[in-house]
Amino acid sequence: MSGQIEGRNPVLEALRSGRTINRILVAKGAREGSIREVIALARSQGVIVQEVARERLDAMARGRNHQGVIALAAAHRYYDLDEVLERAAASGEDGLLLVLDGIEDPQNLGSLLRTADAAGVHGVIIPERRAVGLTETVAKVSAGAVEYVPVARVTNIARTLEMLKERGYWVVGTHQEADELYYEARLTGPLAVVIGSEGRGMSRLVAETCDFTVRLPMRGHVTSLNAAVAGAILLYEVRRQRSAGA
């Protein structure tokens, strides 16, 4: 199920109805009339608003008049968190969840979903607001993995992690100032792996909720890895440790 909503009134109505909107594209310089209402309402709901060239909207539009605004809705359905946990419980192995704290780049989310499928992750958890959702771009980059890895959207990542801990999960996050290297940590048992957003990393509350954090060794001049790369390295270390202990 994919959705592209075009025009000021249709986008406004979609926002007012509470429909899940991943991102709104607005023509550069467009601030007149109801465009301002669209932007204000979107931002109040935490929906990402991106200014783009009008020519890009012209190329994307399926209708004749986008009026300077196009909203992108979910490309695939989201699962309830309980469904994800039930899938993990039914797998016959310790649950493995990937929790993404504010990933905004659809390329990164698509890559992470592809890795999650390959590494045997039982489900992915993302926030409802201020993060990219299951767009058509994400689905394409995932190379079909989006069809196999259930994705749950939650209102609060930190509270969700607390709930997972109550269910017996250990929560590990990545932080470049962590004392322990990722391959030195014990990454067995029911585990929720947290990857922070591009640039900012994990939010303070999410970092404080983690049971422990690990770092990836960096010998070059840059200070961090791409979120999708970091996630892939950590997930495959989890898989390696589980295979070694089997």
Instruction: Specify the pLDDT at position 109.
Output: 95
Residues 100, 43, 58, CA angle at the centre, nearest 5°?
95
Instruction: Specify the pLDDT at position 75.
Output: 67
Instruction: Specify the pLDDT at position 246.
Output: 56
Instruction: Specify the pLDDT at position 24.
Output: 94
- Picking from 239, 177, 205, the residue whose alpha carbon sits closest to that of residue 101 is 205
CA dihedral 133→106→150→238, nearest 10 degrees, is -130
pTM of the shown model: 0.75
Partners of 153 in beta bridges: 126
Instruction: Specify the pLDDT at position 110.
Output: 93
Instruction: Specify the pLDDT at position 180.
Output: 93
Q: What domains does the chain contain, in order, with CATH numbers?
A: 3-73 (3.30.1330.30), 81-245 (3.40.1280.10)
Distance CA 68, CA 118 (A): 40
* CA pseudo-torsion sign 120, 123, 127, 133: positive
Token output for 181? 């290297």
pLDDT in tens, the chain (246 residues): 457 888 898 889 888 877 788 899 999 988 778 899 999 999 999 899 999 999 999 999 887 789 999 998 876 789 999 999 999 999 999 999 999 998 999 999 999 999 999 999 999 999 998 899 888 788 878 887 887 899 999 999 999 999 999 999 999 999 888 889 999 999 999 999 999 988 788 999 999 999 999 998 877 655 567 899 999 999 999 999 999 865
Instruction: Specify the pLDDT at position 220.
Output: 62
Distance CA 89, CA 96 (A): 10
